[in-house]
Amino acid sequence: MDRRKFLVSAGLAGSLFSVGGLSSCASSSKLYGDQNFYINKGIYRIPKLKLSKDRIIKETVGLRPFRPSGPRIEKEMLDKKTIVHNYGHGGSGWSLSWGTGHLARNLVMEGTDRDIALLGCGTVGIATATLLQESGCQVTIYTKDVPPNVTSNLATGTWSPASRVCDRDIATADFRSQWETACRYSFKRMQMMLGVQDIVEWGDEYRIHSSVPRNTDGNGGHAIYQIEGLAPEWKTLNKRDHPFNAEMVTRRSNMIFNIPGYLNFHLNNFLLRGGKLIIQEINSLEDIDALPQQTVVNCTGLGAKAIFNDEELRPISGQLACLVPQSEITYKLITQGAYFITRKDGIYLGGNGIDGSWDTTPDRSLSEKWVDTLSEVMREMEG
């Protein structure tokens, strides 16, 4: 049998039998248990993305609620009311929602009040409301909008707990430690959602470098902090182990949040457990004072700027272009100037952030540029 035929049949055998039974064969023929790969011509191939401008079915611009000193998780008194703040998560709100929700819950539980008003119904508000219920609180959400009309619906949806979470030069060591606690808590909680209606999944993520970066730790993407050993690390692949035409390719596994199903699932659970939801815009501190509850948790994201006059809080806008879903694509890819991620509801292209911009009008030419950039990567792929 020649080498190519052997590799092909070894690949088939690998998918039919357990790796354990073939372990000695596996080490000599490089059998991998990774279902995203199959062996052809001795290199590893992955399915290609279908890219064309007419496949763009939706474009959005969301505003990341950014605070240079980091999200505000603290208690303050407003006359006789206790306000617990939990807002300003930048590009990390999905990832940190359960962790900062847990910190906010601890602040609520320091008091004796268990009838809680919670402002906001994005990913942070829903996670915090759920945690408060789990601690025996009766929670009423007051919110201007519910999903899908919230910023949380306009996110990419990956585990990115340090993405635009603060300005490292301004945030304190105390914040770093608070971030780490939140990050660890969130990570653990997300693992409990695996297998629940696919709301959280793991997938491969490739980073394509056109030249070998000077700092080859494989990181970037605005990750300000890291916790070693918490999640799988980036690994540099050797040329035979990937199909891309690039100087350097790194890969890691990462979590994906299937945003519409995720928010729907948790909001339904909140209501099933007796939570109440009232559509109401809060325009001033007087509106908060008028709420019947004495303890109020503030998860209004960027909305907190006007209500609480937070001068630090500002938007970092981010555009996404959604392509027709392609269920065979299960990986994420990042290259210079563009990325795509696969979710149940579509393939999302993105890669920008405009500091201080309140403009939520999508720029078609940007979406088309991403299609062009990623088309080139796909064109040059082996296979």
Ligand X SMILES: Cc1cc2nc3c(=O)[nH]c(=O)nc-3n(C[C@H](O)[C@H](O)[C@H](O)COP(=O)(O)OP(=O)(O)OC[C@H]3O[C@@H](n4cnc5c(N)ncnc54)[C@H](O)[C@@H]3O)c2cc1C
Judged by the rule CB under 6 A, the positions of this chain that interact with ligand X are 62, 64-65, 87, 89-95, 119-125, 143-145, 150-152, 154-158, 160, 281-282, 299-303, 307, 318, 320, 350
Provide the Cα torsion 132, 134, 135, 139; round to 10°: 40
Strand order in the sheet with 138-143: 72-78, 81-87, 295-298, 115-119, 138-143, 276-279
CA atoms within 13 A on the CB side of 148: 8
Please name the helix (run of DSSP H) or strand (run of DSSP E) that holds residue 3, with its range, or none.
helix 3-16
State in angstroms the smallest separation of the CB of 67 from ligand X: 11
State in angstroms the smallest separation of the CB of 333 from ligand X: 14
C-alpha distances out from residue 246 to 43, 119, 218, 378, Å: 14, 47, 14, 12
Q: Which is nearer to ligand X, 7 or 299 (CB)?
A: 299
Q: Which is nearer to ligand X, 130 or 300 (CB)?
A: 300
Which region holds residue 328: left if phi is over 0, alpha if psi is between -120 and 50, else beta? Answer: alpha
State in angstroms the smallest separation of the CB of 10 from ligand X: 37
The CB density around residue 7, as the number of other CB atoms within 10 Å, is 18
State in angstroms the smallest separation of the CB of 172 from ligand X: 20
Residues in the chain: 383
Q: Which is nearer to ligand X, 246 or 341 (CB)?
A: 341
Whole-angstrom Cα distance, residue 339 to residue 351? 6
Whole-angstrom Cα distance, residue 155 to residue 165? 14
State in angstroms the smallest separation of the CB of 279 from ligand X: 9
Q: Which is nearer to ligand X, 9 or 149 (CB)?
A: 149
Q: Which is nearer to ligand X, 32 or 234 (CB)?
A: 234
State in angstroms the smallest separation of the CB of 16 from ligand X: 36
Q: Which is nearer to ligand X, 19 or 192 (CB)?
A: 192
Q: Which is nearer to ligand X, 118 or 249 (CB)?
A: 118
Q: In sequence order, which residues have a C-beta less than 8 Å from that of residue 291 and are 6 or more positions away?
A: 117, 142
State in angstroms the smallest separation of the CB of 85 from ligand X: 11
Which residue type occupies 198? D
